[in-house]
Protein backbone atom coordinates (compact mmCIF):
# COMPACT_ATOMS: atom_id res chain seq x y z
CA UNK A 1 0.00 0.00 0.00
CA UNK A 2 2.76 2.39 1.00
CA UNK A 3 4.84 1.36 -1.98
CA UNK A 4 1.88 1.99 -4.27
CA UNK A 5 1.34 5.41 -2.70
CA UNK A 6 4.90 6.66 -3.06
CA UNK A 7 5.33 5.49 -6.64
CA UNK A 8 1.83 6.57 -7.57
CA UNK A 9 2.43 10.09 -6.28
CA UNK A 10 5.76 10.60 -8.06
CA UNK A 11 4.66 8.86 -11.25
CA UNK A 12 2.82 11.75 -13.02
CA UNK A 13 5.79 14.11 -12.63
CA UNK A 14 8.25 11.36 -13.58
CA UNK A 15 6.34 10.44 -16.71
CA UNK A 16 6.00 14.11 -17.67
CA UNK A 17 9.73 14.80 -17.38
CA UNK A 18 10.76 11.58 -19.14
CA UNK A 19 8.24 11.84 -21.99
CA UNK A 20 8.41 15.57 -22.60
CA UNK A 21 11.98 16.46 -21.72
CA UNK A 22 14.37 13.51 -21.52
CA UNK A 23 13.16 11.65 -24.61
CA UNK A 24 12.75 14.74 -26.87
CA UNK A 25 16.22 16.03 -25.93
CA UNK A 26 17.86 12.61 -26.36
CA UNK A 27 16.10 12.12 -29.71
CA UNK A 28 17.31 15.55 -30.81
CA UNK A 29 20.88 14.60 -29.91
CA UNK A 30 20.45 11.17 -31.53
CA UNK A 31 19.53 12.69 -34.89
CA UNK A 32 22.99 14.27 -35.09
CA UNK A 33 24.63 10.83 -35.37
CA UNK A 34 22.46 9.65 -38.24
CA UNK A 35 24.12 11.48 -41.12
CA UNK A 36 24.97 9.63 -44.34
CA UNK A 37 28.51 11.00 -44.24
CA UNK A 38 29.22 9.17 -40.98
CA UNK A 39 28.04 9.34 -37.37
CA UNK A 40 30.27 12.25 -36.36
CA UNK A 41 30.30 14.12 -39.66
CA UNK A 42 28.10 16.96 -38.43
CA UNK A 43 30.44 17.53 -35.46
CA UNK A 44 33.60 17.53 -37.58
CA UNK A 45 31.87 20.02 -39.86
CA UNK A 46 31.10 22.20 -36.84
CA UNK A 47 34.59 22.09 -35.37
CA UNK A 48 36.22 22.71 -38.76
CA UNK A 49 34.06 25.70 -39.62
CA UNK A 50 35.69 28.98 -38.64
CA UNK A 51 32.35 30.77 -38.41
CA UNK A 52 30.70 28.18 -36.14
CA UNK A 53 33.73 27.93 -33.87
CA UNK A 54 33.79 31.73 -33.64
CA UNK A 55 30.20 31.60 -32.36
CA UNK A 56 31.16 28.98 -29.77
CA UNK A 57 34.25 30.92 -28.63
CA UNK A 58 32.32 34.18 -28.47
CA UNK A 59 29.62 32.54 -26.35
CA UNK A 60 32.17 31.03 -23.96
CA UNK A 61 33.98 34.36 -23.75
CA UNK A 62 30.83 36.39 -23.03
CA UNK A 63 29.67 33.81 -20.45
CA UNK A 64 33.04 33.76 -18.68
CA UNK A 65 33.44 37.56 -18.59
CA UNK A 66 29.83 37.95 -17.38
CA UNK A 67 30.39 35.34 -14.67
CA UNK A 68 33.62 37.00 -13.50
CA UNK A 69 32.11 40.48 -13.25
CA UNK A 70 28.91 39.18 -11.63
CA UNK A 71 30.97 37.25 -9.05
CA UNK A 72 32.93 40.31 -7.93
CA UNK A 73 30.00 42.76 -8.02
CA UNK A 74 27.56 40.28 -6.47
CA UNK A 75 29.94 39.23 -3.70
CA UNK A 76 30.74 42.77 -2.56
CA UNK A 77 27.08 43.79 -2.66
CA UNK A 78 25.93 40.65 -0.84
CA UNK A 79 28.63 41.23 1.77
CA UNK A 80 27.35 44.75 2.43
CA UNK A 81 23.71 43.54 2.53
CA UNK A 82 24.56 40.74 4.97
CA UNK A 83 26.00 43.29 7.43
CA UNK A 84 22.97 45.55 7.40
CA UNK A 85 20.49 45.76 10.27
CA UNK A 86 17.15 43.97 9.73
CA UNK A 87 14.93 46.58 8.11
CA UNK A 88 17.49 48.00 5.74
CA UNK A 89 18.53 44.47 4.81
CA UNK A 90 14.97 43.58 3.76
CA UNK A 91 14.68 46.73 1.65
CA UNK A 92 17.97 45.95 -0.11
CA UNK A 93 16.93 42.36 -0.76
CA UNK A 94 13.64 43.54 -2.26
CA UNK A 95 15.57 45.98 -4.47
CA UNK A 96 17.71 43.09 -5.68
CA UNK A 97 14.79 40.72 -6.21
CA UNK A 98 12.64 43.16 -8.14
CA UNK A 99 14.78 43.25 -11.31
CA UNK A 100 15.01 39.46 -11.10
CA UNK A 101 11.24 39.13 -11.37
CA UNK A 102 11.11 41.53 -14.31
CA UNK A 103 11.37 39.73 -17.62
CA UNK A 104 14.51 39.27 -19.68
CA UNK A 105 12.97 41.13 -22.62
CA UNK A 106 12.11 44.17 -20.51
CA UNK A 107 15.54 44.29 -18.87
CA UNK A 108 17.37 43.92 -22.17
CA UNK A 109 15.18 46.55 -23.76
CA UNK A 110 16.25 49.06 -21.09
CA UNK A 111 19.81 48.81 -22.41
CA UNK A 112 18.61 49.55 -25.95
CA UNK A 113 17.31 52.89 -24.61
CA UNK A 114 20.52 53.53 -22.69
CA UNK A 115 23.09 52.55 -25.32
CA UNK A 116 21.23 53.39 -28.54
CA UNK A 117 22.08 56.08 -31.15
CA UNK A 118 19.56 58.44 -29.53
CA UNK A 119 20.16 56.79 -26.20
CA UNK A 120 20.84 58.39 -22.87
CA UNK A 121 24.61 58.02 -22.92
CA UNK A 122 24.91 59.51 -26.42
CA UNK A 123 22.51 62.35 -25.57
CA UNK A 124 24.45 63.26 -22.45
CA UNK A 125 27.85 63.11 -24.13
CA UNK A 126 26.61 65.13 -27.13
CA UNK A 127 25.02 67.81 -24.99
CA UNK A 128 28.16 68.18 -22.91
CA UNK A 129 30.10 68.41 -26.15
CA UNK A 130 32.45 65.50 -25.46
CA UNK A 131 31.54 63.85 -28.76
CA UNK A 132 30.34 65.28 -32.07
CA UNK A 133 28.93 62.06 -33.49
CA UNK A 134 26.83 59.53 -31.58
CA UNK A 135 28.88 56.49 -30.57
CA UNK A 136 27.75 53.09 -31.85
CA UNK A 137 27.62 51.07 -28.69
CA UNK A 138 24.88 48.60 -29.62
CA UNK A 139 25.51 45.28 -31.38
CA UNK A 140 28.96 44.91 -29.84
CA UNK A 141 30.29 42.32 -27.43
CA UNK A 142 30.40 45.07 -24.82
CA UNK A 143 26.68 45.81 -25.08
CA UNK A 144 25.84 42.11 -24.75
CA UNK A 145 28.08 41.74 -21.68
CA UNK A 146 26.70 44.86 -19.96
CA UNK A 147 23.13 43.62 -20.39
CA UNK A 148 24.08 40.10 -19.27
CA UNK A 149 25.79 41.42 -16.14
CA UNK A 150 22.65 43.43 -15.49
CA UNK A 151 20.56 40.28 -15.84
CA UNK A 152 22.63 38.09 -13.56
CA UNK A 153 23.99 40.31 -10.76
CA UNK A 154 20.70 40.06 -8.79
CA UNK A 155 20.84 36.27 -9.02
CA UNK A 156 24.40 36.30 -7.70
CA UNK A 157 23.46 38.66 -4.86
CA UNK A 158 20.55 36.46 -3.79
CA UNK A 159 22.66 33.32 -3.94
CA UNK A 160 25.42 34.87 -1.82
CA UNK A 161 23.41 36.80 0.80
CA UNK A 162 22.14 33.57 2.34
CA UNK A 163 25.63 32.03 2.26
CA UNK A 164 27.29 35.05 3.89
CA UNK A 165 24.60 35.28 6.55
CA UNK A 166 25.26 31.65 7.37
CA UNK A 167 28.89 32.29 8.30
CA UNK A 168 29.04 32.06 12.11
CA UNK A 169 29.81 35.38 13.74
CA UNK A 170 32.07 33.75 16.32
CA UNK A 171 34.53 32.66 13.64
CA UNK A 172 35.15 36.20 12.45
CA UNK A 173 35.26 37.54 15.98
CA UNK A 174 37.70 34.79 16.90
CA UNK A 175 39.95 35.72 13.98
CA UNK A 176 39.80 39.39 14.98
CA UNK A 177 40.46 38.68 18.67
CA UNK A 178 43.49 36.59 17.69
CA UNK A 179 44.80 39.66 15.92
CA UNK A 180 43.97 38.89 12.27
CA UNK A 181 43.77 41.99 10.08
CA UNK A 182 40.63 42.43 7.93
CA UNK A 183 42.24 41.26 4.68
CA UNK A 184 43.74 38.01 6.00
CA UNK A 185 40.47 37.39 7.84
CA UNK A 186 38.64 37.78 4.56
CA UNK A 187 41.05 35.57 2.63
CA UNK A 188 41.43 32.84 5.25
CA UNK A 189 38.05 32.77 6.96
CA UNK A 190 35.26 34.34 4.89
CA UNK A 191 36.35 33.32 1.39
CA UNK A 192 36.83 29.59 2.12
CA UNK A 193 33.45 29.46 3.86
CA UNK A 194 31.76 31.31 1.03
CA UNK A 195 33.46 29.24 -1.69
CA UNK A 196 30.67 26.68 -2.19
CA UNK A 197 28.15 29.52 -2.54
CA UNK A 198 30.41 31.34 -4.97
CA UNK A 199 30.61 28.17 -7.07
CA UNK A 200 26.83 27.73 -7.08
CA UNK A 201 26.39 31.37 -8.13
CA UNK A 202 29.06 31.07 -10.81
CA UNK A 203 27.43 27.94 -12.25
CA UNK A 204 24.01 29.62 -12.36
CA UNK A 205 25.38 32.71 -14.09
CA UNK A 206 27.65 30.82 -16.47
CA UNK A 207 24.97 28.39 -17.67
CA UNK A 208 22.39 31.20 -17.81
CA UNK A 209 24.54 33.47 -19.95
CA UNK A 210 25.97 30.65 -22.06
CA UNK A 211 22.49 29.52 -23.08
CA UNK A 212 20.75 32.91 -23.29
CA UNK A 213 18.73 33.87 -26.32
CA UNK A 214 16.81 37.14 -25.91
CA UNK A 215 19.68 39.35 -24.75
CA UNK A 216 22.20 38.47 -27.49
CA UNK A 217 19.36 38.68 -30.00
CA UNK A 218 18.41 42.23 -28.94
CA UNK A 219 21.79 43.71 -28.03
CA UNK A 220 24.14 41.68 -30.18
CA UNK A 221 22.14 41.08 -33.34
CA UNK A 222 23.58 39.17 -36.29
CA UNK A 223 27.09 40.48 -35.72
CA UNK A 224 27.39 39.08 -32.22
CA UNK A 225 25.69 35.74 -32.78
CA UNK A 226 25.86 33.42 -29.77
CA UNK A 227 25.01 29.72 -29.41
CA UNK A 228 21.40 30.41 -28.40
CA UNK A 229 20.68 32.80 -31.25
CA UNK A 230 22.64 30.53 -33.62
CA UNK A 231 20.47 27.54 -32.66
CA UNK A 232 17.30 29.54 -33.26
CA UNK A 233 18.56 30.84 -36.60
CA UNK A 234 19.54 27.35 -37.82
CA UNK A 235 16.22 25.87 -36.73
CA UNK A 236 13.72 28.56 -37.68
CA UNK A 237 15.37 30.66 -40.39
CA UNK A 238 17.46 28.26 -42.46
CA UNK A 239 15.56 25.10 -41.37
CA UNK A 240 18.81 23.21 -40.98
CA UNK A 241 17.52 20.81 -38.35
CA UNK A 242 20.61 18.66 -38.13
CA UNK A 243 22.78 21.75 -37.74
CA UNK A 244 20.45 23.09 -35.03
CA UNK A 245 20.48 19.72 -33.25
CA UNK A 246 24.28 19.70 -33.34
CA UNK A 247 24.38 23.11 -31.66
CA UNK A 248 21.82 21.84 -29.12
CA UNK A 249 23.94 18.77 -28.34
CA UNK A 250 27.10 20.86 -27.85
CA UNK A 251 25.19 23.21 -25.54
CA UNK A 252 23.80 20.34 -23.46
CA UNK A 253 27.22 18.69 -23.08
CA UNK A 254 28.92 21.94 -22.05
CA UNK A 255 26.25 23.08 -19.56
CA UNK A 256 25.75 19.69 -17.89
CA UNK A 257 29.52 19.14 -17.86
CA UNK A 258 30.08 22.48 -16.11
CA UNK A 259 27.33 21.74 -13.58
CA UNK A 260 28.70 18.28 -12.75
CA UNK A 261 32.34 19.36 -12.42
CA UNK A 262 31.57 22.46 -10.40
CA UNK A 263 29.06 20.84 -8.03
CA UNK A 264 31.63 18.15 -7.27
CA UNK A 265 34.16 20.90 -6.56
CA UNK A 266 31.68 22.73 -4.32
CA UNK A 267 31.14 19.58 -2.28
CA UNK A 268 34.86 19.00 -1.86
CA UNK A 269 35.49 22.62 -0.88
CA UNK A 270 32.84 22.63 1.82
CA UNK A 271 34.70 22.79 5.13
CA UNK A 272 31.43 22.75 7.07
CA UNK A 273 30.36 19.53 5.35
CA UNK A 274 28.80 17.03 7.70
CA UNK B 1 26.83 37.19 9.96
CA UNK B 2 28.03 39.85 12.29
CA UNK B 3 27.20 43.51 12.14
CA UNK B 4 30.51 45.28 11.81
CA UNK B 5 31.42 48.67 10.47
CA UNK B 6 31.49 48.56 6.72
CA UNK B 7 34.33 50.19 4.91
CA UNK B 8 32.91 53.36 3.32
CA UNK B 9 34.30 52.30 -0.08
CA UNK B 10 32.34 49.04 0.07
CA UNK B 11 29.20 50.90 1.06
CA UNK B 12 29.64 53.36 -1.81
CA UNK B 13 30.18 50.46 -4.20
CA UNK B 14 26.96 48.77 -3.05
CA UNK B 15 25.03 52.02 -3.56
CA UNK B 16 26.40 52.24 -7.10
CA UNK B 17 25.34 48.64 -7.76
CA UNK B 18 21.79 49.37 -6.64
CA UNK B 19 21.75 52.44 -8.88
CA UNK B 20 22.90 50.19 -11.75
CA UNK B 21 20.13 47.69 -10.93
CA UNK B 22 17.25 50.12 -10.59
CA UNK B 23 18.04 53.03 -12.93
CA UNK B 24 17.26 51.08 -16.14
CA UNK B 25 13.80 50.27 -14.80
CA UNK B 26 13.19 53.94 -13.98
CA UNK B 27 14.33 54.80 -17.50
CA UNK B 28 11.75 52.43 -19.00
CA UNK B 29 8.96 54.06 -16.97
CA UNK B 30 10.14 57.53 -18.03
CA UNK B 31 10.33 56.60 -21.71
CA UNK B 32 6.82 55.17 -21.59
CA UNK B 33 5.49 58.56 -20.48
CA UNK B 34 7.32 60.63 -23.10
CA UNK B 35 5.12 62.62 -25.49
CA UNK B 36 7.40 61.87 -28.44
CA UNK B 37 7.01 59.28 -31.18
CA UNK B 38 10.52 57.99 -30.55
CA UNK B 39 11.99 56.53 -27.38
CA UNK B 40 13.82 59.07 -25.28
CA UNK B 41 14.81 59.76 -21.71
CA UNK B 42 14.25 62.00 -19.82
CA UNK B 43 10.68 62.19 -21.16
CA UNK B 44 9.72 65.27 -23.17
CA UNK B 45 6.21 66.15 -22.07
CA UNK B 46 4.11 63.62 -20.21
CA UNK B 47 1.40 61.47 -21.74
CA UNK B 48 -0.42 58.24 -21.14
CA UNK B 49 -1.28 57.75 -24.80
CA UNK B 50 1.27 54.98 -25.24
CA UNK B 51 -0.63 52.97 -22.66
CA UNK B 52 -3.86 53.61 -24.54
CA UNK B 53 -2.00 52.58 -27.68
CA UNK B 54 -1.33 49.08 -26.32
CA UNK B 55 -5.01 48.35 -26.01
CA UNK B 56 -5.62 49.49 -29.56
CA UNK B 57 -3.00 47.09 -30.89
CA UNK B 58 -4.71 43.81 -31.51
CA UNK B 59 -1.45 41.81 -31.49
CA UNK B 60 -0.53 42.91 -27.98
CA UNK B 61 -4.03 42.29 -26.69
CA UNK B 62 -4.20 38.81 -28.19
CA UNK B 63 -0.74 37.71 -27.06
CA UNK B 64 -1.27 39.11 -23.56
CA UNK B 65 -4.38 36.94 -23.24
CA UNK B 66 -2.49 33.91 -24.58
CA UNK B 67 0.35 34.57 -22.12
CA UNK B 68 -2.07 34.72 -19.20
CA UNK B 69 -3.87 31.55 -20.29
CA UNK B 70 -0.61 29.66 -20.75
CA UNK B 71 0.78 30.89 -17.42
CA UNK B 72 -2.33 29.94 -15.46
CA UNK B 73 -2.79 26.54 -17.12
CA UNK B 74 0.93 25.74 -17.08
CA UNK B 75 1.35 26.72 -13.44
CA UNK B 76 -1.78 24.78 -12.48
CA UNK B 77 -0.54 21.69 -14.29
CA UNK B 78 2.93 21.92 -12.77
CA UNK B 79 1.45 22.16 -9.26
CA UNK B 80 -0.95 19.31 -9.98
CA UNK B 81 1.91 16.90 -10.68
CA UNK B 82 4.50 18.77 -8.58
CA UNK B 83 2.74 18.80 -5.20
CA UNK B 84 2.18 15.00 -5.04
CA UNK B 85 5.80 14.47 -6.12
CA UNK B 86 7.12 16.90 -3.50
CA UNK B 87 4.93 15.23 -0.87
CA UNK B 88 6.19 11.74 -1.72
CA UNK B 89 9.82 12.87 -1.85
CA UNK B 90 9.52 14.28 1.67
CA UNK B 91 7.22 11.67 3.20
CA UNK B 92 9.08 8.62 1.86
CA UNK B 93 12.54 10.18 1.69
CA UNK B 94 14.26 6.98 2.76
CA UNK B 95 12.48 4.60 0.41
CA UNK B 96 12.67 6.59 -2.82
CA UNK B 97 15.76 6.50 -5.05
CA UNK B 98 17.96 9.59 -5.20
CA UNK B 99 17.75 9.95 -8.96
CA UNK B 100 14.07 10.93 -8.64
CA UNK B 101 14.82 14.30 -7.08
CA UNK B 102 17.52 14.86 -9.72
CA UNK B 103 14.98 14.07 -12.42
CA UNK B 104 12.66 16.81 -11.18
CA UNK B 105 15.35 19.50 -11.46
CA UNK B 106 16.36 18.42 -14.97
CA UNK B 107 14.20 21.13 -16.60
CA UNK B 108 16.56 23.67 -14.98
CA UNK B 109 19.72 21.82 -16.07
CA UNK B 110 18.81 21.43 -19.73
CA UNK B 111 19.29 24.73 -21.59
CA UNK B 112 15.86 26.28 -22.16
CA UNK B 113 16.57 27.02 -25.79
CA UNK B 114 17.43 23.35 -26.38
CA UNK B 115 14.29 22.23 -24.56
CA UNK B 116 12.14 24.54 -26.67
CA UNK B 117 13.65 23.24 -29.89
CA UNK B 118 13.33 19.59 -28.76
CA UNK B 119 9.67 20.15 -27.84
CA UNK B 120 8.93 21.71 -31.21
CA UNK B 121 10.51 18.75 -33.00
CA UNK B 122 8.94 16.05 -30.89
CA UNK B 123 5.44 17.07 -29.88
CA UNK B 124 4.43 19.96 -32.13
CA UNK B 125 5.79 18.55 -35.35
CA UNK B 126 6.34 14.90 -34.40
CA UNK B 127 3.03 14.24 -32.64
CA UNK B 128 1.15 17.04 -34.39
CA UNK B 129 -0.10 18.60 -31.16
CA UNK B 130 -1.65 22.08 -31.48
CA UNK B 131 0.73 24.98 -30.75
CA UNK B 132 -1.28 26.17 -27.74
CA UNK B 133 -1.16 22.73 -26.09
CA UNK B 134 2.60 22.55 -26.75
CA UNK B 135 3.04 25.96 -25.10
CA UNK B 136 1.09 24.93 -21.99
CA UNK B 137 2.92 21.61 -21.69
CA UNK B 138 6.31 23.25 -22.30
CA UNK B 139 5.71 25.93 -19.67
CA UNK B 140 4.35 23.40 -17.16
CA UNK B 141 7.53 21.37 -17.49
CA UNK B 142 9.82 24.38 -17.43
CA UNK B 143 8.37 25.48 -14.08
CA UNK B 144 7.94 22.02 -12.54
CA UNK B 145 11.26 22.30 -10.62
CA UNK B 146 9.98 25.42 -8.82
CA UNK B 147 6.79 23.62 -7.80
CA UNK B 148 8.65 20.55 -6.53
CA UNK B 149 11.41 22.44 -4.75
CA UNK B 150 9.45 25.29 -3.17
CA UNK B 151 6.60 23.06 -2.01
CA UNK B 152 9.20 20.50 -0.91
CA UNK B 153 10.98 23.15 1.18
CA UNK B 154 7.82 23.91 3.12
CA UNK B 155 7.06 20.18 3.53
CA UNK B 156 10.53 19.66 4.98
CA UNK B 157 9.47 21.49 8.14
CA UNK B 158 6.09 19.74 8.33
CA UNK B 159 5.65 17.21 11.12
CA UNK B 160 4.17 14.15 9.47
CA UNK B 161 3.09 12.70 12.81
CA UNK B 162 0.16 15.15 12.74
CA UNK B 163 -0.94 13.48 9.54
CA UNK B 164 -0.45 10.04 11.09
CA UNK B 165 -2.71 11.10 13.94
CA UNK B 166 -5.51 12.12 11.59
CA UNK B 167 -5.13 8.90 9.61
CA UNK B 168 -5.21 6.71 12.72
CA UNK B 169 -8.43 8.43 13.76
CA UNK B 170 -9.98 7.18 10.53
CA UNK B 171 -9.64 10.19 8.20
CA UNK B 172 -9.26 9.04 4.56
CA UNK B 173 -5.87 9.84 2.87
CA UNK B 174 -7.04 12.52 0.43
CA UNK B 175 -9.17 14.29 3.03
CA UNK B 176 -6.25 14.18 5.45
CA UNK B 177 -4.03 15.79 2.86
CA UNK B 178 -6.56 18.50 2.09
CA UNK B 179 -7.48 19.33 5.67
CA UNK B 180 -4.26 18.64 7.56
CA UNK B 181 -1.22 18.83 5.23
CA UNK B 182 -2.28 21.49 2.73
CA UNK B 183 -3.16 24.24 5.25
CA UNK B 184 0.31 23.78 6.77
CA UNK B 185 2.15 24.24 3.47
CA UNK B 186 -0.09 26.99 2.10
CA UNK B 187 2.75 29.52 2.02
CA UNK B 188 4.95 27.18 0.00
CA UNK B 189 2.20 26.51 -2.52
CA UNK B 190 1.51 30.22 -2.95
CA UNK B 191 5.21 30.96 -3.38
CA UNK B 192 5.57 28.13 -5.91
CA UNK B 193 2.56 29.40 -7.83
CA UNK B 194 3.92 32.93 -7.95
CA UNK B 195 7.46 31.99 -8.97
CA UNK B 196 6.13 29.63 -11.60
CA UNK B 197 3.66 32.19 -12.90
CA UNK B 198 6.31 34.92 -13.21
CA UNK B 199 8.70 32.52 -14.93
CA UNK B 200 6.03 31.50 -17.40
CA UNK B 201 4.83 35.06 -18.16
CA UNK B 202 8.40 36.18 -18.91
CA UNK B 203 9.63 33.12 -20.79
CA UNK B 204 11.27 33.64 -24.16
CA UNK B 205 13.60 30.74 -24.86
CA UNK B 206 10.99 27.97 -24.85
CA UNK B 207 8.11 29.99 -26.30
CA UNK B 208 10.10 31.34 -29.22
CA UNK B 209 9.89 27.94 -30.94
CA UNK B 210 6.25 27.36 -30.10
CA UNK B 211 4.50 30.13 -31.93
CA UNK B 212 2.14 29.40 -34.76
CA UNK B 213 -0.26 31.22 -37.03
CA UNK B 214 -2.16 33.61 -34.77
CA UNK B 215 -0.57 32.22 -31.60
CA UNK B 216 2.25 33.91 -29.75
CA UNK B 217 3.06 35.03 -26.25
CA UNK B 218 3.53 38.60 -25.09
CA UNK B 219 7.35 38.61 -24.70
CA UNK B 220 7.75 37.06 -28.16
CA UNK B 221 5.37 39.68 -29.58
CA UNK B 222 7.40 42.43 -27.88
CA UNK B 223 10.59 41.03 -29.42
CA UNK B 224 9.00 40.91 -32.87
CA UNK B 225 7.64 44.45 -32.47
CA UNK B 226 11.05 45.74 -31.40
CA UNK B 227 12.72 44.44 -34.53
CA UNK B 228 10.43 46.64 -36.66
CA UNK B 229 9.50 49.64 -34.51
CA UNK B 230 11.28 51.42 -31.76
CA UNK B 231 8.51 53.49 -30.20
CA UNK B 232 7.34 54.13 -26.64
CA UNK B 233 4.63 51.47 -26.97
CA UNK B 234 7.23 48.85 -26.06
CA UNK B 235 8.18 50.86 -23.01
CA UNK B 236 4.54 51.07 -21.92
CA UNK B 237 4.04 47.30 -22.39
CA UNK B 238 7.19 46.78 -20.33
CA UNK B 239 5.77 49.03 -17.60
CA UNK B 240 2.57 46.96 -17.55
CA UNK B 241 4.63 43.79 -17.17
CA UNK B 242 6.57 45.46 -14.35
CA UNK B 243 3.28 46.37 -12.66
CA UNK B 244 2.31 42.68 -12.74
CA UNK B 245 5.62 41.98 -10.98
CA UNK B 246 4.96 44.69 -8.38
CA UNK B 247 1.52 43.22 -7.72
CA UNK B 248 2.99 39.78 -7.32
CA UNK B 249 5.68 41.03 -4.95
CA UNK B 250 3.00 42.73 -2.86
CA UNK B 251 1.22 39.37 -2.59
CA UNK B 252 4.45 37.61 -1.58
CA UNK B 253 5.17 40.27 1.01
CA UNK B 254 1.67 40.01 2.44
CA UNK B 255 1.69 36.22 2.66
CA UNK B 256 5.28 35.19 3.28
CA UNK B 257 7.55 38.16 3.69
CA UNK B 258 10.04 38.81 0.91
CA UNK B 259 13.07 37.43 2.69
CA UNK B 260 11.46 34.08 1.89
CA UNK B 261 13.02 34.39 -1.54
CA UNK B 262 16.58 34.26 -0.21
CA UNK B 263 16.07 30.99 1.60
Q: Do A235 and B117 touch (CB under 8 A)?
A: yes
From A213's Cα to the closest Cα of chain B, the distance in A is 6
The model's confidence at residue B3, banded by pLDDT at 50, 70 and 90, is very low
- Mean pLDDT, rounded, for B97-102: 86
- The pLDDT assigned to A1 comes to 58
Q: In whole numbers, what is the pLDDT of chain B averaged over residues?
A: 88
- Mean pLDDT, rounded, for A202-221: 95
DSSP letters of A130-181? Answer: S-SS----SSSHHHHHHHHHHHHHHHHHHHHHHHHHTS-HHHHHHHHHTT--
* Model confidence pLDDT, tens digit, residues A126-142: 988 888 888 889 999 99
List the single best residue of B23, B24, B64, B160 to mutate versus A (max A Cβ within 10 A): B24
> Is the pLDDT score of B149 beyond 80?
yes
Q: Do A211 and B111 touch (CB under 8 A)?
A: yes
| Residues 75-94 of chain B whose Cβ lies under 8 A from any Cβ of chain A | 80-82, 84-85, 87-89, 91-92
The answer to whether the CB of A149 falls within 8 A of the CB of A155 is: no
- The pLDDT assigned to A61 comes to 98
Q: Do B262 and A14 touch (CB under 8 A)?
A: no
From B170's Cα to the closest Cα of chain A, the distance in A is 16
Q: Contacts of residue B114 in chain A, CB cutoff 8 Å?
A: 25, 28, 211, 231, 248, 251-252
Closest by Cβ to B137, choosing from A20, A154, A236 = A20
- The pLDDT assigned to A271 comes to 55
Residues B80, A261: Cα–Cα separation, whole Å: 33
> Is the pLDDT score of B248 beyond 80?
no
**Best CA proximity match to A115, nearest among A133, A91, A137:** A137
Q: Do B1 and A167 touch (CB under 8 A)?
A: yes
The model's confidence at residue A12, banded by pLDDT at 50, 70 and 90, is very high
> Is the pLDDT score of B4 beyond 70?
no
- Mean pLDDT, rounded, for A245-266: 94
**Best CA proximity match to A235, nearest among A225, A226, A247, A250:** A247
* Model confidence pLDDT, tens digit, residues B194-233: 889 999 999 999 999 999 888 999 999 999 988 888 888 8
Q: Contacts of residue B228 in chain A, CB cutoff 8 Å?
A: none
The model's confidence at residue B258, banded by pLDDT at 50, 70 and 90, is low
B224 touches chain A (CB under 8 A): no
* Model confidence pLDDT, tens digit, residues A180-196: 887 888 888 888 889 98
Most confident of A63-72, A74-83, A136-145, A167-176: A63-72
Query: Which range (A54-58, A221-225, B176-180, B187-191) has the least confidence?
Result: B187-191
> Is the pLDDT score of B257 beyond 80?
no
Which is more confidently placed, B113 or B248? Answer: B113
Share of chain A above pLDDT 90, in %: 61
> Is the pLDDT score of B148 beyond 60?
yes
Query: Which range (A34-43, A163-172, B18-27, B136-145) has the least confidence?
Result: A163-172
B219 touches chain A (CB under 8 A): yes
Alpha-helical runs (H) found in B33-97: 49-56, 58-91
Which is more confidently placed, A240 or B212? Answer: A240
* Model confidence pLDDT, tens digit, residues B237-247: 999 888 887 88
Q: Do A10 and B96 touch (CB under 8 A)?
A: yes
The model's confidence at residue B2, banded by pLDDT at 50, 70 and 90, is very low
Q: Which long-range contacts (CB under 8 A, 24 or more apart) does A91-96 make?
A: A92/B14, A92/B18, A93/A158, A93/A161, A93/B258, A93/B259, A93/B261, A93/B262, A94/B249, A94/B253, A94/B258, A95/B18, A95/B21, A95/B22, A96/A154, A96/A157, A96/A158, A96/A161, A96/B18, A96/B21
| Residues 40-59 of chain B whose Cβ lies under 8 A from any Cβ of chain A | 40-41
The model's confidence at residue A242, banded by pLDDT at 50, 70 and 90, is very high
Q: Chain-centre distance of CA A169, in angstroms?
A: 31
Q: In whole numbers, what is the pLDDT of chain A averaged over residues?
A: 91
- The pLDDT assigned to A273 comes to 46
The answer to whether the CB of B238 falls within 8 A of the CB of A109 is: yes
- The counts of H helices and E strands in chain B are 13, 0
Residues A207, A3: Cα–Cα separation, whole Å: 37
For residues A99, A105, A107, A110, the Cα torsion angle rounded to the nearest 10 degrees is -150
Share of chain B above pLDDT 70, in %: 95
Q: At what angle do helices A241-269 and A41-48 cross, to 10 degrees?
A: 80
Reduced DSSP (H G I as helix, E B as strand, rest coil) percent helix, strand, coil of chain B, to 5: 75, 0, 20
Residues A244, B61: Cα–Cα separation, whole Å: 32
| Residues 121-160 of chain B whose Cβ lies under 8 A from any Cβ of chain A | 121-123, 137-138, 140-141, 144, 148
The answer to whether the CB of A62 falls within 8 A of the CB of A148 is: yes
Q: Do B208 and A113 touch (CB under 8 A)?
A: no
B104 touches chain A (CB under 8 A): yes
- Mean pLDDT, rounded, for B51-59: 85
* Model confidence pLDDT, tens digit, residues A30-69: 999 988 888 999 999 999 999 999 999 999 999 999 999 9
Closest by Cβ to B204, choosing from A153, A214, A231 = A214
Which is more confidently placed, A85 or A245? Answer: A245
- The pLDDT assigned to B261 comes to 53
Q: Do A6 and B3 touch (CB under 8 A)?
A: no
Distances (CA, A) of B257 to A77, A98, B163, B240: 21, 14, 27, 24
* Model confidence pLDDT, tens digit, residues B72-86: 999 999 999 999 999
Q: Chain-centre distance of CA B252, in angstroms?
A: 13
- Mean pLDDT, rounded, for A75-85: 92
* B84: CB partners within 8 A, 6+ apart: A9, A10, A12, A13
Amino acid sequence: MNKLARWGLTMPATIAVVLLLVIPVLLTIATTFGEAAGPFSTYTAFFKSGFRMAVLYRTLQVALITTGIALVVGFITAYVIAQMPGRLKSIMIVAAVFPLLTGVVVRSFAWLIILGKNGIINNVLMSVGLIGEPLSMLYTQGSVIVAMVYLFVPLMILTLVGVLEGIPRDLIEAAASLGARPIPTFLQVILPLAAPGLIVGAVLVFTGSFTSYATPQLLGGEKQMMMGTFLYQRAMVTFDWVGASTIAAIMVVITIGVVLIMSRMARRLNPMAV
Amino acid sequence: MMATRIHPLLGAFAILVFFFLLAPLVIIVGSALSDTTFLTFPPQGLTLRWFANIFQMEAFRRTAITSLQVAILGTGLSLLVGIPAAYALNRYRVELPRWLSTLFVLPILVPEIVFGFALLKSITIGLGLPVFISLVVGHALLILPYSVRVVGASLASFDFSIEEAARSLGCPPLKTFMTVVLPNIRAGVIAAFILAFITSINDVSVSVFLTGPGISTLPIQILAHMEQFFDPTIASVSVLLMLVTVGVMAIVEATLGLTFLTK
